[in-house]
Amino acid sequence: MNNGFIKVAAASPDLRVADVAYNKAQIIATVERAAADGVRVLCLPELAITGYTCGDLFGSRLLIDAAKKALVEIVQATADLPVFFAVGLPYLHNGKLYNVAAAVCGGRLLGLVPKTNIPSYGEFYERRNFTPWNAEQTKWTDDYVGNDRSVNIDTDQIFMCTDLPELKIGIEICEDAWVTIPPSSYLAQKGATVILNLSASDEVIGKADYRRQLISSQSAKIVGGYVYADAGLGESTTDLVFSGHNLIAENGTILAESKPFGSGYAVNEIDLQRIVAERARMTTFETQTSPDDTWETEFSLPLESTTLTRRIARRPFVPDDEATLRRRCESIVTMQAEGLARRVKQIGCKCVIGISGGLDSTLALLVTVRAFDLLGRDRREIITVTMPGFGTTSRTKSNAELLCESLGVTFRTIPIGNAVKQHLADIGHDGITTDVTYENSQARERTQILMDVANMENGIVVGTGDLSELALGWATYNGDHMSMYGVNASIPKTLVRHLVAYFAAIATDETQKRVLLDILDTPVSPELLPAKDGEIAQKTEDLVGPYDLHDFFLYYLLRFGFAPDKIYRLAKIAWGEVYDATTILKWLKIFLRRFFAQQFKRSCLPDGPKVGTVTLSPRGDWRMPSDASAALWLAEAEKIKE
């Protein structure tokens, strides 16, 4: 439960229709299994104590009384298990029979939640036996046998964990999720972060896919966790078949599921801090505070470390699935190109790009070509300039020239060596010491050339710097930091590589394909230090650290505002097989220092197209004081134990 994680499960016990004693034993065994697995929140199916398909047997007082007695015994038998669970049963109150979910924890019956929407179509005839809950009626309480207090009976209940304040549980039952506005929507607005759905959904062709989409969509709409427990094979009687298709979702993502006709047991961890952070940043997520209308019942769970089994993507900006990645790449490139095309059309200008033979400038050029093609403009109006300096290698220079030739753009070579030497002499630098002045003077000279060429050609300079470089401040102020439009400004380095690979995959020109593949194979470098034996001497990741890690840190810091200890924990899970704990912690601290120290560069960025949820534009996406202190974050990082 540390870092806001809570292990949840949905289970379909092996049940027998109308065999209450057998079902009781199976339910208790399932709760025991969940507790042994470290599960702290468990959802069981609708009417599990009796079975869902009892039909007119629900008219038997013998069955109803047996279910009530079995619930008392289940509560007592699980008193020592640290699990909050919900289980379904028929419940008779004031002469009416209700389909309810019983919320149980620590030997207490916390509340009964009745089903609101009772189906009366197709194979379902629940209204023949059960009464729909009327939300307008007065809330009821009942002195329940075996409980130390009266029990609330109502749909408008939230169960709150005193030990983990972010854990607030709401409950709805089966059909409630299928209606236009599910009860879970209101419960989420009133603070529920996790919804349990006790269901008995029969299986027909195509329904599993629809069910999966429904649960995923509802978890996204409520920006919360959703645990769905389906009736299992034991309910497959007469004309209906049930498959035990259980689902666990978080904000639109299916975290785990038991395949139809499979194990009937799904377990994973829901990130409550992530849910709370996402809701806080969404101004469209409405909250309702109405304590007079909502029962708020507290329960307790022991605080402990939650062993994580949920998948933590190594590269959160890059989809794992190849088909999804291909679609994502095309969508991103289209957004980049359309944004630039709008700027070019507005001004009626040419474009000037500094081309180095590296990944970033290659992507910027490919996007610019796409933009000019969209506008029906001559590619020759794209003026590319390679500016070899002290560290330029023949490999990158050759790749730049070959790429430009294959694309049919204008290509110029303007060496900067003599100009930089003169400038260094003018300011009193010896021209030999390879310090930051030596490096940055080359970057600024290149930017000056690009700006002046743009003036001469009625053009704008297209920036090439990416999101990762902006986060780390790996850009020379008023050098490559500056342009008239930065097409890569919201593209992290780990994604840049895949976008260039995408262009290589769709390239029809063999020379272009070969050059792009070689660029992908070239180490990332600013090439500001003299080459050694004709090879690149300055490799960026040797200096600032692995971009794989930095992009990981960037995503969780900006997207969810996670603290360093949580980011570190997630990074160890995702990257532990590649980097040891010491290395991960070292680069995390460096990332935090650089991110805070370099905000002044981001405060005056040029325009650039937003393509993802994590961007650093100072005009709305990331507003941070240039002199904000990193002390709080670094202090937390220093407390981390490897």
In this prediction, residue 295 carries a pLDDT of 82
Question: Annotated catalytic residue: which of 43, 54, 105, 174?
Answer: 174
Q: What is the mean pLDDT of residues 412-432?
A: 94
In this prediction, residue 285 carries a pLDDT of 77
Query: Given pLDDT bands bounded at 50, 70 and 90, which one contains residue 619?
Result: confident
In this prediction, residue 642 carries a pLDDT of 78
Exposed e or buried b for every residue in 350-377, given b needs 16+ CB within 10 A? bbbbbbbbbbbbbbbbbbbbbbbebeeb
421 is catalytic: no
In this prediction, residue 234 carries a pLDDT of 80
d(CA 87, CA 418): 79
> Which of 168-182, 291-305, 469-483, 554-568 shows the lowest mean pLDDT across its residues?
291-305
115 is catalytic: yes
Asked whether the predicted pLDDT for residue 292 surpasses 60, the reply is no
**Residues making up the chain, counted from first to last:** 642
Question: Annotated catalytic residue: which of 46, 203, 269, 278?
Answer: 46
Q: Which residue has the higher pLDDT, 520 or 1?
A: 520
d(CA 449, CA 387): 9
φ, ψ of residue 173 in degrees (nearest 5): -125, 120
Q: Cβ-count burial of 405 within 10 angstroms (0-12 exposed, 13-18 middle, 19+ buried)? A: middle
Q: Which is it for the CA torsion 278, 283, 288, 289, positive or negative?
A: positive
Query: Given pLDDT bands bounded at 50, 70 and 90, which one contains residue 491?
Result: very high
**CATH assignment, 2-299:** 3.60.110.10
Give the closest residue to 349 by CA, choosing from 487, 484, 480, 465.
484
In this prediction, residue 380 carries a pLDDT of 97
Token pair recorded at residue 348: 């009626």
- In angstroms, the Cα distances linking 288 to 155, 158, 185, 194, 202 are 16, 13, 11, 16, 34
Q: What is the mean pLDDT of residues 117-127?
A: 67
d(CA 281, CA 285): 9
In this prediction, residue 138 carries a pLDDT of 47
Q: Where in the chain is the domain with CATH 3.60.110.10?
A: 2-299
- 295-299, strands of its sheet edge to edge: 253-257, 247-250, 225-229, 194-198, 168-173, 157-161, 295-299
| Tokens 């924890």, residue located | 105
Asked whether the predicted pLDDT for residue 109 surpasses 90, the reply is yes
In this prediction, residue 533 carries a pLDDT of 57
Q: What percent of the chain has pLDDT over 70?
A: 92
> Which of 9-23, 63-77, 236-250 shows the lowest mean pLDDT across its residues?
236-250
Exposed e or buried b for every residue in 508-525, given b needs 16+ CB within 10 A? eeeebbbbbebbeebebb
Q: What is the mean pLDDT of residues 625-634?
A: 94
Give the closest residue to 53 by CA, choosing from 94, 102, 88.
88
Q: What is the mean pLDDT of residues 526-544?
A: 57
Q: What percent of the chain has pLDDT over 90?
A: 71
d(CA 608, CA 317): 18
Nearest 5°: the CA angle 464, 467, 472 is 110
In this prediction, residue 289 carries a pLDDT of 62
d(CA 535, CA 593): 31
pTM: 0.87
Query: Given pLDDT bands bounded at 50, 70 and 90, which one contains residue 358?
Result: confident
Asked whether the predicted pLDDT for residue 236 surpasses 90, the reply is no
Q: What is the mean pLDDT of residues 551-556?
A: 96
Q: Which residues pair with 385 in a beta bridge?
A: 354, 412
In this prediction, residue 374 carries a pLDDT of 97
Q: Which residues pair with 114 in a beta bridge?
A: 100
> Which of 112-126, 145-159, 346-360, 528-542 shows the lowest mean pLDDT across its residues?
528-542
Question: Annotated catalytic residue: which of 7, 68, 115, 493?
Answer: 115
**CATH assignment, 322-638:** 3.40.50.620
Give the closest residue to 75 by CA, choosing from 93, 63, 87, 65.
87
d(CA 192, CA 251): 13
The one-letter amino acid at 369:
V
Q: Cβ-count burial of 162 within 10 angstroms (0-12 exposed, 13-18 middle, 19+ buried)? A: exposed
Q: What is the mean pLDDT of residues 195-213?
A: 90
Query: Given pLDDT bands bounded at 50, 70 and 90, which one contains residue 528?
Result: very low
Q: What is the mean pLDDT of residues 139-156?
A: 68
Determine contact, residues 349/458, Cβ cutoff 8 Å. Answer: yes
**What's 361's DSSP letter?**
H
Write down the number of H helices and E strands in the chain: 19, 20
Q: Which is it for the CA torsion 208, 211, 217, 220, positive or negative?
A: negative
Q: What is the mean pLDDT of residues 435-458?
A: 94
d(CA 551, CA 492): 7
Determine contact, residues 462/344, Cβ cutoff 8 Å. Answer: no
Q: Where in the chain is the domain with CATH 3.40.50.620?
A: 322-638
Token pair recorded at residue 140: 């009821």
Q: Which is it for the CA torsion 228, 233, 237, 241, positive or negative?
A: positive
In this prediction, residue 134 carries a pLDDT of 74
The DSSP line for 389-443 is -TT--HHHHHHHHHHHHHHT-EEEE---HHHHHHHHHHTT--S---SHHHHHHHH
Question: What is the chain's mean pLDDT, rounded?
Answer: 90
Give the closest residue to 225 by CA, choosing from 287, 269, 181.
269
Query: Given pLDDT bands bounded at 50, 70 and 90, which one contains residue 173?
Result: very high
Q: What is the mean pLDDT of residues 293-309?
A: 87
Report the SS3 class of residue 495: helix
Asked whether the predicted pLDDT for residue 356 surpasses 90, the reply is no
Strands 265-271 and 5-11: antiparallel
Determine contact, residues 287/189, Cβ cutoff 8 Å. Answer: yes
46 is catalytic: yes
Q: Which residues pair with 460 in a beta bridge?
A: 351
Strands 108-114 and 157-161: unpaired
In this prediction, residue 121 carries a pLDDT of 59
- Give residues with Cβ within 8 angstroms of 44, minimum separation 6: 11, 12, 13, 27, 30, 85, 86, 87, 88, 198, 229
Determine contact, residues 475/469, Cβ cutoff 8 Å. Answer: yes
> Which of 13-27, 128-142, 221-235 shows the lowest mean pLDDT across its residues?
128-142
d(CA 284, CA 397): 50
Q: What is the mean pLDDT of residues 615-635?
A: 91
d(CA 149, CA 359): 67
